[in-house]
């Protein structure tokens, strides 16, 4: 008797499990009529999902306000903002699963991979007054001549310096006219071994060294990506200068300064200078409110000025169900009105040249970052370039430790890059 | 009568299967099917972004790239394999020996606060690995606790190092004491074997990797200790009494009585350790992301990196399959060795 009951119970359990498991199966997206299944209520309303990663609380709240503004003015297109952790993994699985969010953040470095996979709808040229976007930022989201998605905001690298340490050493403050020689001389003068202070905090990071590469007149690849150009004398000059600062003890990576990143070392006054983007400003205000520091443009190298633009765009999924509505929303978010509402907070910089003056009137101290947009280079290469990034990062690390020479690092990066371009 | 028993048997069989059904379903959905797909994808060029149906079948190309073609992908694979092997060679013996030692200690009949010690030693194993990893990041900083302790016990002779940013290999450091560096190394050490210079193969674990090894050992000892403890308590008291009557001392009892009786458990613990170390991922993910200079790049982390940042899910699946084959082979070999000792 007991056995029978148990048997019955387990049958029920098994059935329940199967039933529970079924809806978890991804619905086949291709065969479905558009927007039929999900929203039974409110006919005629298009519901869109905007997925991104969370940043500071202030930014998250402001973005929600901008989205709320759209929702209030457009009852027929309602946008839900979804800020998720572990963004890249989440985006990739939802794309592969065939049910991507309608609009999602795309980092410029990641763009070539997504474009090559056909995941993005090219909507850049459908935006209002496309020429208003900085050319360097449009370039960052252009692959093979196609402008995929409009930039949401951007950051550039600039030189941050500790005013108190400069004054204590009796040095003139850095200016936008500085050269590598000025940087090196100041770093030497500001390094104080006994106090554990170095002149300059730099990490073994391709995304920082590359600014020096461009300042030296070097290039990573030829413009058409047909060949790597890291075997040039210019690249060697940049690598020797960057590594030399660390090997000679006048600069150090964050880990040698008991910090998680150069911004922290700079905040702790363990380094008199560093080169970070405008994200360092809210960080320092929050963590080191009493730090007396200034910002200026990066110094010029043998070939002049250069900085990097790190930027994110609003991508529209190629196989989304409401691409037209999604494009409209993106046009609002990156348009003159939406962009102004989003960047008025002062944490992100407007990607439209027409908003420059108004924004600078509110945040004059951030001008060096915004000026960088004029001559910034894009942080975007080819699909699979993560291999090159990894190789240069680990090569720089080894060069910092004296395990490799700058020449060896470049040779290796050149060879890996050639393999990636040949794929 | 006979039919009655048969009836009973059949009913038992049905009940048995029904009992297993829920687990079998879960197993099929979350283990069998994913494994099947992983094997399938390892023969495709799937990028992990476009729908899987668009993946092209490319035969054994991924395996050729990983094992035969000279290039960055083979270099990374064997670098990861090398790091993982050093990791395993360091952690498995250390964790097994320490766990056995702790188990014997807390198994003593006359030990006071036995419960406290057992809980204390087991605690790291049940704490979140992510939380512990974050904590160790601070301990390993240049002005962190580890360096301070080392400085204190060496009376200031110890030069503080940033543990998690130090790519120098242990053997390289030791070679350096005897004047052997890459510059002075003989030519054959600079030759490439499987896309990696011999000099790199014999690097030993890097300082950063040793940091993770220490952490991993510390977090796994507890579980291994509990397994040993259970086995120790299964050893009948009479065996020990007999040995004592025969005049064996403590050391003799341990090596001639306890250890042989623990052999099956030893095999189990070493196997668990081997599998666990070859799959190490979370601590690498949190503490070093494969750096500095790829010296903490493990095979499991390489799978993740290829799948989710390099858009080469097919290649990632191929590496995962190779990792499975390696672990499987190692376990078989190890079983052969342990069984061989029995005779």
Question: Which range has the worst mean pLDDT, A54-63, A186-195, A309-318?
Answer: A54-63
A156-169 average pLDDT score: 93
Question: Which range has the worst mean pLDDT, A34-48, A70-84, A125-139, B130-144?
Answer: A34-48
DSSP H/E element including B92? helix B72-106
**pTM of this structure:** 0.85
B228-249 average pLDDT score: 86
B200-208 average pLDDT score: 90
Measured between beta carbons, which residues in chain A are less than 8 angstroms from residue B312? 384
Task: Please tell me the predicted confidence (pLDDT) of residue A346.
Answer: 81
A101 touches chain B (CB under 8 A): no
- Residue pairs spanning A and B at CB distance below 8 A: 117
Residues in chain B: 343
Q: With a cut of 50, say whether residue A9 has pLDDT above it.
A: no
Chain A residue whose CA is closest to B160: A256
Q: With a cut of 80, say whether residue A312 has pLDDT above it.
A: yes
B221-241 average pLDDT score: 88
Pairing relationship of beta strands A46-53 and A77-84 according to DSSP bridges: parallel
Question: Which range has the worst mean pLDDT, A27-31, A136-140, B320-324, B330-334?
Answer: A27-31
Question: Which range has the worst mean pLDDT, A2-16, A55-69, B241-255?
Answer: A2-16
What are the pLDDT digits (tens) for B32-41? 999 998 999 9
What are the pLDDT digits (tens) for A42-101? 668 889 999 999 888 888 888 999 999 999 998 899 999 999 988 988 999 888 888 899
What are the pLDDT digits (tens) for B53-96? 888 889 889 999 899 888 888 999 999 999 999 999 999 999 99
Q: Which residue in the set A18, A117, A403 is minimally distant from B311, CB to CB?
A: A117
Q: What does the mean pLDDT of chain A come to?
A: 86
CA atoms within 13 A on the CB side of A122: 15
Q: What does the mean pLDDT of chain B come to?
A: 87
B318-334 average pLDDT score: 91
Model confidence at B309, pLDDT cuts 50, 70, 90, reads confident
Model confidence at A25, pLDDT cuts 50, 70, 90, reads very low
B119 vs A134 pLDDT, higher one: A134
Mark yes or no for CB contact A394/B293 under 8 Å.
yes
A410 min Cα distance to partner chain B (Å): 14
What are the pLDDT digits (tens) for A317-364? 988 888 999 999 999 999 988 999 898 888 889 999 999 999 999 998
A159-183 average pLDDT score: 93
Task: Please tell me the predicted confidence (pLDDT) of residue A393.
Answer: 92
Task: Please tell me the predicted confidence (pLDDT) of residue B4.
Answer: 63
What are the pLDDT digits (tens) for A259-286? 889 999 999 999 999 999 989 998 998 8
Model confidence at B20, pLDDT cuts 50, 70, 90, reads very high
Q: With a cut of 60, say whether residue A297 has pLDDT above it.
A: yes
Task: Please tell me the predicted confidence (pLDDT) of residue A18.
Answer: 42
Task: Please tell me the predicted confidence (pLDDT) of residue A134.
Answer: 92
Rounded-to-10 torsion of CA B117, B121, B126, B128: 120
Measured between beta carbons, which residues in chain A are less than 8 angstroms from residue B49? 92, 95-96, 113-114, 117, 119
Chain centroid to Cα A176, Å, comes to 24
Measured between beta carbons, which residues in chain B are less than 8 angstroms from residue A119? 49-50
ipTM score here? 0.80
Give residues 318 to 347 of A whose Cβ lies within 8 Å of B: 319
Q: Which residue in the set B11, B47, B76 is minimally distant from A117, CB to CB?
A: B47
Collect all residues with Cβ–Cβ distance below 8 Å to A120 and sequence separation of at least 6: A106, A111, A114, A148, A149, A315, A316, A317, A318
B312 vs A34 pLDDT, higher one: B312
What are the pLDDT digits (tens) for A230-267? 999 999 999 999 999 999 999 999 988 988 899 999 99
Q: With a cut of 80, say whether residue A206 has pLDDT above it.
A: yes
Residues of B in CB contact (< 8 Å) with A are 11-12, 14-15, 18-19, 21-22, 25-26, 29, 47-52, 71-73, 76, 141-144, 162, 164-168, 182, 290-294, 305, 308-312
Q: With a cut of 80, say whether residue A13 has pLDDT above it.
A: no
* Contacts for A402-407: CB closer than 8 Å, 24+ residues apart: A402/A247, A403/B167, A403/B168, A403/B182, A403/B293, A406/A236, A406/A239, A406/A240, A406/A243, A407/A236, A407/A239
A400-404 average pLDDT score: 87
């Amino acid at each position: 008797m007991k056995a029978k009951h148990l048997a019955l119970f387990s049958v029920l359990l098994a059935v329940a499990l199967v039933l529970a498991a079924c809806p978890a199966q991804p619905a086949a997206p291709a065969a479905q009529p558009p927007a039929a299944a999900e929203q039974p209520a409110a006919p005629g309303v298009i519901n869109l999902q905007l997925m991104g990663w969370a940043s500071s609380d202030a930014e998250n709240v402001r973005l929600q306000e901008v989205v709320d503004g759209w929702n209030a003015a457009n009852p027929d297109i309602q946008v839900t903002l979804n800020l998720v952790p572990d963004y890249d993994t989440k985006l990739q699985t939802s794309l592969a699963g065939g049910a991507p969010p309608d609009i999602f953040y795309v980092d410029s470095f990641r763009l070539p991979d997504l474009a090559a996979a056909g995941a993005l709808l090219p909507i850049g040229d459908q935006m209002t007054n496309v020429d208003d976007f900085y050319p360097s930022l449009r370039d960052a989201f252009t692959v093979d001549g196609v402008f995929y998605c409009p930039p949401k905001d951007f950051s550039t690298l600039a030189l941050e310096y500790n005013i108190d340490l400069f004054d204590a050493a009796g040095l003139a403050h850095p200016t936008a006219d500085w050269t590598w020689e000025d940087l090196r001389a100041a770093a030497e003068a500001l390094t104080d071994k006994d106090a554990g202070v170095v002149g300059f905090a730099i990490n073994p990071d391709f995304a920082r060294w590359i600014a020096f590469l461009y300042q030296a007149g070097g290039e990573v690849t030829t413009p058409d990506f047909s060949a790597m150009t890291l075997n040039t004398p210019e690249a060697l000059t940049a690598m020797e200068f960057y590594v030399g600062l660390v090997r000679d003890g006048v600069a150090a990576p964050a880990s040698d300064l008991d910090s998680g990143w150069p911004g922290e070392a700079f905040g702790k006054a363990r380094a008199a200078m560093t080169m970070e983007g405008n994200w360092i400003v809210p960080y320092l205000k929050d963590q080191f409110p009493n730090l007396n520091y200034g910002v200026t443009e990066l110094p010029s190298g043998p070939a002049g000025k250069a900085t990097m633009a790190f930027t994110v765009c609003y991508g529209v999924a190629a196989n989304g169900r409401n691409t037209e509505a999604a494009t409209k929303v993106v046009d609002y978010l990156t348009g003159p009105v939406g962009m102004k509402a989003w960047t008025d907070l002062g944490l992100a910089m407007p990607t439209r040249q027409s908003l420059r003056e108004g924004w600078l009137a509110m945040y004059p101290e951030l001008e060096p970052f915004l000026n960088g947009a004029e001559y910034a280079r894009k942080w975007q290469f080819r699909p699979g370039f993560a291999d090159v990034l990894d190789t240069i990062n680990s090569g720089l690390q080894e060069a910092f430790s004296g395990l490799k020479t700058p020449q060896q690092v470049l040779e290796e990066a050149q060879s890996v890059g050639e393999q990636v371009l040949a794929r | 009568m006979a039919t009655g028993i048969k009836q009973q048997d059949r009913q038992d069989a049905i009940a048995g299967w029904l009992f297993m059904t829920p687990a079998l379903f879960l197993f099929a959905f979350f283990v069998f099917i994913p494994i099947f797909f992983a094997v399938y994808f390892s023969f495709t060029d799937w990028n992990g972004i476009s729908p899987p149906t668009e993946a092209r079948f490319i035969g054994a190309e991924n395996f050729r790239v990983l094992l035969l073609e000279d290039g960055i992908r083979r270099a990374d694979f064997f670098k990861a394999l090398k790091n993982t092997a050093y990791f395993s060679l360091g952690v498995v013996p250390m964790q097994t020996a320490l766990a056995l030692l702790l188990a014997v200690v807390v198994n003593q009949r006359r030990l006071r606060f036995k419960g406290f010690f057992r809980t204390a030693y087991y605690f790291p194993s049940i704490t979140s690995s992510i939380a512990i990893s974050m904590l160790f990041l601070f301990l390993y900083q240049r002005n962190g606790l580890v360096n301070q302790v080392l400085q204190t016990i060496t009376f200031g002779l110890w030069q503080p190092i940033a543990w998690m940013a130090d790519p120098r290999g242990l053997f390289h450091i030791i070679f350096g004491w005897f004047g052997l560096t890459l510059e002075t190394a003989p030519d054959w050490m600079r030759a490439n074997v499987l896309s990696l210079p011999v000099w790199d193969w014999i690097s030993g674990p890097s300082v950063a990797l040793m940091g993770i090894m220490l952490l991993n050992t510390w977090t796994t000892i507890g579980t291994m200790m509990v397994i040993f403890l259970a086995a120790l308590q299964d050893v009948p008291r009479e065996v020990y009494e007999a040995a004592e009557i025969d005049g064996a001392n403590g050391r003799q009892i341990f090596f001639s009585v306890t250890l042989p009786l623990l052999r099956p458990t030893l095999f189990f613990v070493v196997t668990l350790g081997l599998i666990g170390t070859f799959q190490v991922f979370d601590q690498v993910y949190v503490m070093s992301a494969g750096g500095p200079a790829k010296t903490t790049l493990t095979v499991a982390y390489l799978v993740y990196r290829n799948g989710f940042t390099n858009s080469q899910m097919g290649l990632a699946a191929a590496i995962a399959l190779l990792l499975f084959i390696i672990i499987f082979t190692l376990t078989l070999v190890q079983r052969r060795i342990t069984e061989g000792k029995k005779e």
